[in-house]
Amino acid sequence: MAMGKEDDNRCKPVHDGHSEPLFETRRKTGRVIAYRVFSVSVFACICLIWFYRVTVPIKIDVNRTGIDRLIWFVMLVAEIWFGLYWVVTQSSRWNPVWRFTFPDRLSRRYGNDLPRLDVFVCTADPVIEPPLMVVNTVLSVAALDYPPEKLAVYLSDDGGSELTFYALTEAAEFAKTWVPFCKRFNVEPTSPAAYLSSKGNGLDSTAEEVAELYREMAARIETASRLGRVPEEARLKYGEGFTQWDADATRRNHGTILQILVDGREENTIAIEIPTLVYLSREKRPQHHHNFKAGAMNALVLRVSSKITCGKIILNLDCDMYANNSKSARDALCILLDEKEGKEIAFVQFPQCFDNVTRNDLYATMMRVGVDVEFIGLDGNGGPLYIGTGCFHRRDVICGRKYGEEEEEVKSEKVQEMIEPEMIKDLASCTYEANTQWGKEMGVKYGCPVEDVITGLAIQCRGWKSAFLNPEKKDFLGVAPTNLHQMLVQHRRWSEGDFQVLLSEYSPVWYGKGKIGLGLILGYCCYCLWAPSSVPVLVYSVLTFLCLFKGIPLFPKVSSSWFIPFGYVTVVVNAYSLAEFLWCGGTFRGWWNEQRVWLYRRTSSFLFGFTDTIMKLLGVSESAFVITSKVADEEAAERYKDEVMEFGVESPMFLLLGTLGMLNLFCFAAAVMRLASGDGGDFKTMGFQFVITGILVVINWPLYEGMLLRKDKGKMPTSVTVKSVVIALSACTCLAFL
C-alpha cells in the first residue's frame, strides 16, 4: 500500500509486566446507594400523585363539567408519562463506573511499538467552518504524543473547497516548525491558536519566533478566506494539488480530490517528527445521494485510508474539536490494549467539551451532569453511546467485525515507493457503494441524522462494549454555539434523529433485544424519547398557568396532606439537581441557566424535532443535515462573553417561545391582580400553581428582556415580538369568555 502496512495488528509488549492492568474501573458504592434511595423515594411519591389523580374527586364547576374532567385526565396522563420517563432516565445513573488509565504502564510495556493511528478530521463548509479553525485542529492532532511514523492525519473536506485545501497546504509547511516545537517543549494545548491565546504576551524568544510564523500563516489564510479565492502565488507553489479542481467544480458537483501532502515515512519527515498529512474531498454529483457525514466517513475512514496507512486504531474529530491533551491517544490505548478487559472494548468515547463556554454556561452546552454522571452510568451498563467526535475506534470493528471473530492478519510489507493517489480515487467515487453493504452492514450507518448513535448501537449489538473516559484535563475542546438559535437548531436535529432511531429498524427496543442489556436499552431510549417528551411538558406547563388564569385548581391545597408528594418531587428533585450540578463543577447561576435552556429545548427544539419526524413518516418532508456555524460577529461575541442571551433572527421556534412566555406572563399578572384585589381564596386553593407560574416568569426574564427592553442587534426581532404578544393576548381574551 502507499505508506506500507506494518504488522501492527499484533502489537507485542516489549517488556514484562502483563499482570499490571493498563486501566482500572472503580465504583463509588456509598454514593450509588444514596442515589438509589433518592430515586426510589421520588418514584414512590410519583405513584402517590397517580393515586391522588385517580381517587380524589375533582372540584367540578357546574358550568364546565366536561372541561374540568378533561383537564384532570390530561394532567393524569402527563404525570404517568413523567413517572415512566423518570424510570427510564434512572438507567443511566443506576450503575456508574469511573475509568482510570495508567499511561506509564503502557509506555513500559509497549514503548513505541504502538499500533498505527489514523486521525480523521471532518469539515463541510469553509464559510461556517473557517479554514483557519480547521487547520488548527489538524495541527493539534499532528502534534500528539505518538510515534510520528505510526500517526496519520486525514482531512475530509465535504465542501470540496480550494480554500480549505490551501489552508491545509499552509499548515503542512508550518507543521515542520510547530510539531517539533511541541515535542521539544511539551507544549499544551497543541492547537497553535489555543496555545498562543493561553500564553498571551508571556512567550520566550523561541516561542515568539514560532508565534510569528503562525501569525503570518493565519494572515494568509484569513486573507484568502475573506477574498474567497486562493492567491496566484499559492497556486504556483502548490500547483499539483490545485490542478485536481475542474473549472466548473462546485460544492455539490466535483470529482474526487486526493492529495498526500506529507509522507510520514520519508527520512526527512521522520527526522523532524512530522506525521502523514492527507487531504480528501470525495466525488459528489447532484444525481447521487452522498449520505452527509456518514458517507464522508466511509469513503475516507474505511476505504481510502486503508490503502494509504491503514491504521488499526482510528480517531474521528469534528473540525472544531482540537486536541487539548497530547496524551489522549495513549489514554485510549490503555483501554484498547489492556490484555484482560480491553479485548471486549470496541471504542473509547471522550466527552464533547468546549473552550468558549462562559463562566455560567449561558446555553448549557457543557451538559455537565450528562457528561459527569449519565455517560458514566451508561458505561456501567455496557458502554456509552458513540457521539460522532472524540472517539477512538478499532478499524475492523467499525467495518463490521463481531466480538469473538478473529482479527484479519495484516502482512508485514514495506513498500518503498508511493502509490499514486489516482490509483485509489475510485474508492471515493459516487458509484462505488452501489449494490454493496456500505452504510448497512459495513461502516457508519446511513439513513438517520444521528448516524453515529445507530453505528455505536450496531457495534454493541455485535457483542462489543464501549468505554467512557473523562479525565480531569479535557482531551478535546470545541466551539460551542454562541447564540440561542444555533443551540436550538442543533438540538432539534439531535432530538429528531434520536426519535427516528426509536421508530426505525435500529430501535434499541427491538434491535437491541437479546443483544444488549436492559440497562443499555433504557439508556438509549432515554435519548430517543427527548422529542416525544416535549408534548407532555408543553401541555403540563401551559395547563398550569392557563388554569391559574381561569381559577381552576389543579393541585391539592398546601395545607392538605396530599400536597406532600407534589412538594417532595418538586423540591427534592430540584435540590438534588442543584447539588449534583455544583458537584460537577458548575455554579448556581449556571444551574439556573440550565433549567431555562432545558425548558426552551423541550418546548421548541424537541417539539419541532417531534413534528419533523412525524412529517417524515407521513412522507411530507425529508430530514436535512444542518451544519452549526462556528463563527459570530464581534458584537454578538461580546454579548456572549457578557452572558447576554442572543436572539437576533426570525424563527418559528422563537415565535413559539415568545408566545408561551407572554402567555405565562399575562396569566401570572391576572392572578396577581386578583390577589391584590383581595381575593385571597385563589392563593389558598391554587398556591402551588401560583408559585410554578411565578418561577416560569423569572426563568423567562432574559426572554422578556429580549422582547421588550433591549435595543441591540441581539434582541428578539420586532416582528416576532408583535406576533407573540398578539397571539398571547388573543388566547387570553378567548379564554376569558369561555
pLDDT digits (tens, 9 = 90+) for 614-655: 998 888 776 665 666 666 688 999 999 999 999 999 999 999
Closest CA to 383 of 637, 96, 144: 96
Average pLDDT in the 589-612 region? 96
Q: Strand, coil or helix: what is 60?
A: coil
Asked whether the predicted pLDDT for residue 410 surpasses 50, the reply is no
pLDDT band at 611 (very low <50, low <70, confident <90, very high): very high
| Ranges of H-type helices in 339-383 | 368-369, 375-379
**Whether 721 contacts 703, CB under 8 Å:** no
Proportion of the chain above pLDDT 90, given as a percent: 64
Among candidate residues 365, 478, 387, the one with its CA nearest the CA of residue 133: 478
Angle CA(123)–CA(615)–CA(601) in degrees, nearest 5? 60
- Each residue's pLDDT tens digit, 351-377: 999 999 999 999 999 888 766 667 787
Q: Identify the pLDDT of residue 548.
A: 92
For the record, the C-alpha cell of 127 comes out as 464559510
Q: What is the pLDDT of residue 736?
A: 86
Given the C-alpha cell 410519583, which residue does it identify? 46
Q: What is the pLDDT of residue 199?
A: 84
Higher pLDDT, 434 or 603: 603
Percent share of the chain, pLDDT over 70: 91
**pLDDT greater at residue 57 or residue 7:** 57
Residue the block writes with cell 400523585? 49
Q: What is the pLDDT of residue 413?
A: 35
539 has a pLDDT exceeding 90 = yes
pLDDT in tens, 16-52: 445 789 999 998 877 788 889 999 999 999 999 999 9
The confidence score (pLDDT) of residue 270 equals: 63
pLDDT of residue 490: 92
In sequence order, what are the residues at sequence separation of 6 or more whose Cβ sits closer than 8 angstroms to the Cβ of residue 576? Answer: 38
* Greatest extent of the chain over all pairs of C-alpha atoms, in Å: 92
- For 152-181, write each residue's pLDDT tens digit: 999 999 989 999 999 999 999 999 999 999
Q: What contacts 24+ positions apart, CB below 8 Å, involve 630-634?
A: 630/128, 630/129, 630/130, 630/133, 630/319, 630/320, 630/479, 631/128, 631/130, 632/482, 632/483
Average of per-residue pLDDT values in the chain:
88
- C-alpha dihedral sign at 177, 180, 182, 184: negative
Q: Helices 162-185 and 205-227: crossing angle, nearest 10°?
A: 170
Which tens digit of pLDDT belongs to each residue from 65-84?
678 888 999 999 999 999 99
Task: Give residue 623's pLDDT.
Answer: 62
Q: What is the pTM of this model?
A: 0.91
**Distance between CA 608 and CA 467 in Å, rounded?**
32
Q: What is the dihedral of CA 411, 412, 418, 423, to 10 degrees?
A: 0
Of 65-69, 363-367, 484-488, 701-705, give the lowest mean pLDDT range: 65-69
Positive or negative torsion for Cα 68, 69, 74, 80: positive
Give the model's confidence band at 411: pLDDT under 50 very low, under 70 low, under 90 confident, else very high: very low
**Residues designated as active site:** 158, 452
Residue 389 pLDDT greater than 60, yes or no = yes
Cis check for the bond before 189: say yes or no (omega within 30 of 0).
yes
What does the pLDDT look like over 272-324, one tens digit per residue?
Answer: 789 999 999 998 888 888 888 888 899 886 789 988 999 999 999 999 999 99
Alpha carbon distance 384, 367 (integer Å): 15
Inter-residue contact 289 to 298 (CB < 8 Å): no
